[in-house]
Amino acid sequence: MTRAQRIVVIGAGGRGRDAYGRWIVEHPERAHLIAVSDVSAPRREALAAEAGGAAQYGDWRDVVADLHALRADGVVIAVPDALHVDVAIAVADAGVPFLLEKPAAPSLPELERLARHAAAASSRLAVGHVLRFTPFWRTVKRIVDSGAIGRPMTLEVRENIGFWHFAHSYVRGNWRSAEHAGAMVLTKTSHDLDLIRWIAGAPPESVYSIGELSWFREENAPPGAPRFCLDGCPVADSCPFFAPRYYVDALAEVSGHPVHLLGADTSPSGRLAALRTGDYGRCVYRSDNDVADHQQTTMMFPGGLTATLTASAFTAENTRNVAITGSAGQLTGHMESGEVVVDLFSPTATLPDDLPPAVHELQLKPPMGHERHTLRVVMPNADLGDHAGHAGGDAGLMAEFVDALGAGTVGEGELSFATALDSHLMAFAAEESRLTGRPIDFAAWSSSLRILQNAEGDPSS
């Protein structure tokens, strides 16, 4: 790269500001944030100020019209999900490469519209599946691809959403409605489905899913619970989801995501004022949410590999676990800690040499004497912990995107639109299966949509 890339961010909410925008601001030698667009003046002003005075636009159409005047090298699209396709098509028509936050589209018709337009416009488009770019998941992928554990037989991913995170995003927040944002299996676990597809190396043959919205419902509200937590809730002291305990007390030292979503005033009094009548202060049992709060999806892949994805709101951690069994070994991992444990059944088996940086410990496990390797994958300093960062994936994706802008390769390899299509289709198939109670023949189902025929890139990458 010969110069810093000039980037426009459209959407300055939690993702646009705290993940992508922050990375640009913190890497001035690699990228410059030249313009910010958001309907909220406080949000766009805050990010523009962090960037040292970037241009500001209230309407995304206005900044798209100015992309060439701004001499933009690339665009990051992080608007609400329902706007993804409209904004993406406009940027594609402007001929500027862009990174589109996941999910690429909230529904099958919208995904088909985007795919058709992207192919016709030869768009240079990447989708924000950030977990592929974490050191943790790259380590898992490299070990599986090396053949160290033999032929993969089972693959289990557990998405621990976190009780507080689910209440924030999927009961009170932007992703609470399947009609307006999409099903939980799409909006939350498309990352996990992308990982499963990536590790498997092929699309599934069949998909079956079960789950429902069981707990965050009106009939489970404690007696006397008001519509808003601050309206005299009788169980305020014991309710795990009492809004002030989370936004005012637990996050007292946090002024960014997710607190800034309450409003511009993040002082204790400002937070309380926002919670009295705002979405994030609603009783979790008296909201207008309708997405599943737990769901399990099973998939069969060519060659006999079976995969299971479990997503649950009812977890203490906000992280992911993985377990893969193979004909010659097994692998387990915990994303937040970075720990990957590999048992190699043959005493002569070895791990590949070209793994991401890790602290490595080798143990002999009795009584069989096979080798157990414990790796602690080194996480980058850019990780932002519980509320952002994705274990370094946000930073990894932005670095990859900016490098691709400089090289003119956005839309190729792991940044190609085609790499994201299967995981989106797997999510839509899973939701159809959950709602109908029947398994989905994925090959026949997806081919009938004719959505992959003109997508650029290699869908198997």
Number of structural domains found in the chain: 3
| Residue 115 within a domain | yes
Establish if 429 belongs to a structural domain.
no
Do residues 277 and 298 share a domain? Answer: no
Taking a C-beta distance cutoff of 8 angstroms, is the pair 424, 203 a contact? no
The domain that contains 322 carries what CATH number? 3.30.360.10
Answer yes or no: are the C-beta atoms of 363 and 187 closer than 8 Å: no
In a domain, 433, yes or no: no
User: How much is the pLDDT for 380?
Assistant: 64
**Tokens found for residue 458:** 């290699």
Q: How far apart are CA 240 and CA 419, in angstroms?
A: 39
SS (H, E, C) 35-84: EEECCCHHHHHHHHHHCCCCEEECCHHHHHHCCCCCCCCEEEECCCHHHH
pLDDT for the residue numbered 458: 41
For residues 23 and 97, membership in a common domain is answered with yes
Chunked in runs of 10, what are the mean pLDDT values of the chain (461 residues)? 89 89 94 96 93 96 98 96 94 94 92 85 84 93 96 98 97 93 94 95 96 98 97 97 96 88 92 96 97 98 97 96 97 94 89 86 72 83 46 87 93 83 95 97 85 45 38
Listed residues 232, 253, 281: the one ending a domain? 281
Strand positions, DSSP E, 161-305: 206-212, 294-300
Residues 337 and 222 in one domain: no
In a domain, 86, yes or no: yes
Let me know if residue 459 belongs to a domain.
no
**What is the C-alpha separation between 408 and 293, in angstroms, rounded?**
41
Radius of gyration, CA atoms only, the chain: 22
Tokens representing 309 are: 């994805």
Residue 41 sits at φ, ψ, to 5 deg, of: -60, -45
- The structure's pTM equals 0.90
CA–CA distance, 41 with 49 (Å, rounded to integer): 12
Whether residue 30 contacts residue 60, with contact meaning beta carbons closer than 8 Å, is answered with: no
33: enclosing H helix or E strand: strand 31-37
3 state SS for 99-153 = EECCCCCCCHHHHHHHHHHHHHCCCCEEECCHHHHCHHHHHHHHHHHHCCCCCEE
The whole-number pLDDT of residue 194 equals 95
- List own/partner pairs for 452-455 with CB under 8 A and 24 or more apart: 452/115, 452/418, 452/421, 454/115, 454/116, 454/119, 454/120, 455/115, 455/118, 455/119, 455/417, 455/418, 455/421
Kind and range of the H or E element at 407? helix 393-407
Task: Enter the tokens of residue 421.
Answer: 């299509």
Could you tell me if residue 456 is inside a domain?
no
Residues 328 and 254 in one domain: no
Domain boundary among 340, 370, 387: 387
Max Cα–Cα distance, the chain, nearest Å = 69
44 occurs within a structural domain? yes
> DSSP string spanning 151-202?
SEEEEEEEEE--HHHHIIIIISSTTS-TTTT--HHHHTTHHHHHHHHHHHTS
Q: Report the candidate in 402, 414, 452, 378 with the shortest Cα–Cα distance to residue 195.
A: 414
Residues 273 and 314 in one domain: no
Residues 197 and 316 in one domain: yes
Q: Are residues 269 and 304 in the same domain?
A: no
187 and 74 within one domain: no
* Same structural domain, 152 and 200: yes
* Residue 397 backbone phi and psi in degrees, to 5: -65, -45
Question: Residue 287 has what pLDDT?
Answer: 96
Q: Is residue 431 part of a domain?
A: no
Say yes or no: 162 and 211 in one domain: yes
CA distance 160 to 388: 15
Distance between CA atoms of 411 and 72, rounded to whole angstroms? 17
CATH assignment at residue 53? 3.40.50.720
| Shared domain check, 329 and 232 | no
Spatial neighbors of 343 by CB under 8 A, at least 6 apart, are 329, 330, 331, 365, 370, 371, 372, 373
Domain carrying residue 109: 5-128+390-415+443-449
* 331 and 274 both lie in a single domain: no
